[in-house]
Each structure stands twice: as structure tokens, then as C-alpha cells.
Amino acid sequence: MMTTVQQLSARANELVAQRRRFVQATVVRAQCPTSARPGDAAIVLPDGAIEGFVGGQCAEESVRTAALEVLQHGDSTLLRILPDGSEEFPDTPGAITTINPCLSGGAIEVFLEPKFPPARIAVIGNTPIAEALVQFGSPLGFSMDRTTESGAIAGSTAVIIASHGRDEAEFIHSALDAGVNFIGLVASRTRGTSVVESLELNSEERQVVRSPVGLDIGARTAEEIALSILAEVVRAVRVEGLLAPKVGDEPLPPETAIDPVCGMTVTIGVDTAHIAHDGVDHWFCNPGCRARYAEELGVS
């Protein structure tokens, strides 16, 4: 029988294998009284579901809200959850603080680490440049997929066509149909312009197709050309915000609401405490806040 830690690790490995995004939440500090302990951990999915344990219902709601924000901006964050009127933890660079008036007492700090699948680059062709791209791309953290099949393009962050004239138009069209936002054609400036113009692309499609692909570093060898291409891909990811097209049925981020009793931001889900009164929906961080509001309204 696996321990809780082993189960969570196995689940994380499963999500990585499925190329699914999630946030790893780990309690790194806790002040009594609190149900969480350092080392407690959970996985937060894009739909707001939490698997694991990072404290009671109130702390969990704060973790859920912050984790979904982390999935949007992609940066690791130290979340400091404090009860109303408590003595704050010492300042920590890179931390965010949320006041949770529903906590029963202790404060906790939770490290939120986003886990994204590595950017996938489809490399087309059986050429020295294609080979060098595969060799250089993996150490940069890219998932390199060398293929000659247009059907293998779906879900790629970038497609690099290094087939030296073989089926280039077909692969460009396939990549555009798959919603790929970076399509690089390895060709001379003259031939590349000729190929792209023959495709009769609209202005938006033309911006996606980069030819000749690669930053101008005076590259001559296959390895130098591969380096220049990967440098342009890195710049597109880091500077331009290049993302892979959405594939599959990953849900949109859930909606949020403000608890009218405690003022907390609440992630709306099927199990979220709720009251509908006079045609208005009210959402609560826990059943206690709902009960107090129901009493004020005189409803059940």
C-alpha cells in the first residue's frame, strides 16, 4: 500500500506523462493552531480540483485561488495565509499574503510551483540541420519530436521544417490548420520567399510562418543554423509569450466570487456553498459563512 506522499508523486508523474498542467502545493511552514504541517502537499488542477491536503477548508480555498493565478502567470509563488488580526510572518521576497478571516487560528506558508509540460517542437526532415535541432533542443528543455508525418504536428509549440524542399507547403498548411503559432522554414531568403508567396496566405498566417527561420548570427554549419533557430524559438517563448495551441478538453479556469460574509475570493465549483436569494447567487468559502448569511436573510 502506497503512502500519501507516494500516491501524490505517482499522480504527478501521471499528469506529466499526459502533458497536463497543474500546480504542486507544499506546506513549508505552519504556526499552531493549524491542521496543516510542513511537508503536507497537494496537486491543484486547472479546474480548481485539489488532490492531497494543505489544511482545512478555509486554507484550501486560499490555496486554490492562488494556485489558479499561478497557472495563469506561470511563476512559482510563496503563499502566506494569515488569520484576521494575526501577527505576520517576516517579509519574504516573492511571497504574497492573503488574510483569511475564517481560519481557526494558525498561519501557514505554502509554496506553489506550476508544472507545465515542456514546449514541444516538431522537426520535419531527415537532414543534418534537423538532426542538430533534435540534439540541441533537448538540453534546452524542449520536447523534440522529429517526424515526417504531418499528423504528428498537433499540439506543437513550434514546427521547424528542415526538409530542404520536400513537402514544405503541405507541412506549412498542416501546421496552420493545427493552430501552431510558430512555423519555421529552413531555406534561403530567396527560396523561402518564393515558397511562402506561393501559398497565398493571409496577413495573420504570414506572421506565423518565419522564413528564413533563425536569428542572424552568421551561421554556416548545420549546428550553427540549428543554434540560430532554437535561439529564435527561445526568444519567441520567453519574450513574445509563444504558447502551444490548446489541445483536448482541458477546462477553462473556473469563475470566482466574493464571499459576502468574510470577503474571501471563492472559486465556484459544484461543491461550493451557495445561496440563491431574490434572483442573486451568493457563494461562500465554507458552510459556516453560508449558515451565517442564511440566518441574516432568514432563509434555510
229 within a domain of the structure (yes/no): yes
Each residue's pLDDT expressed in tens, for the chain with a length of 300 residues: 777 888 999 999 999 888 888 999 999 988 777 788 899 999 999 988 999 998 888 888 889 989 998 988 888 999 988 876 655 555 566 677 776 666 666 788 999 999 988 889 999 998 999 999 999 999 999 999 888 777 778 889 999 999 887 888 899 999 999 899 999 999 998 998 888 888 888 888 889 999 999 999 999 999 999 999 999 999 999 898 888 776 555 666 788 888 888 777 888 877 788 888 888 888 887 777 888 888 888 777
Tally of domains in the chain: 3
Q: Do both 232 and 166 map to the same domain?
A: yes
* Residue of 43, 11, 38 whose CA lies nearest to 27: 38
Is 23 in the same domain as 103? yes
Alpha-carbon distances of 185 from 152, 208, 244, 293, rounded to whole Å:
17, 11, 18, 61
The verdict on residue 247 lying in a domain is no
Residue position matching grid coordinates 468574510? 262
Where does a domain end: 238, 264, 284? Answer: 238
Residue 248 in domain: no
The answer to whether residues 203 and 219 belong to one domain is yes
Of 99, 115, 131, which residue constitutes the final position of a domain? Answer: 115
Domain span holding position 291: 256-297
Tell me: do 106 and 131 sit in the same domain. Answer: no
Same domain (yes/no): 162, 192: yes
152 and 60 within one domain: no
Whether residue 218 sits in one domain with residue 131: yes
Residue 206 resides in a domain? yes
| Same domain membership, residue 48 and residue 34 | yes
**Residues 86 and 110 placed together within one structural domain of the fold:** yes
Give the model confidence (pLDDT) of 250-273 as tens digits: 666 788 888 888 777 888 877 788
* 145 in any annotated domain: yes
Residue 249 lies in a domain: no
- Specify if 165 maps to a domain: yes
Residue 152 lies in a domain: yes
Based on the fold, state whether residues 110 and 68 are members of the same structural domain.
yes
Question: For residue 21, which of 78, 67, 59, 80 has the smallest C-alpha distance?
Answer: 67
Same domain, 124 and 234: yes
Q: Which CATH number goes with the domain that contains 154?
A: 3.40.50.720
Q: How far apart are CA 275 and CA 292, in angstroms?
A: 11
- Domain boundary pick from 85, 115, 145: 115
Nearest-Å Rg of the Cα atoms of the chain is 25
262 with 233, same domain: the answer is no
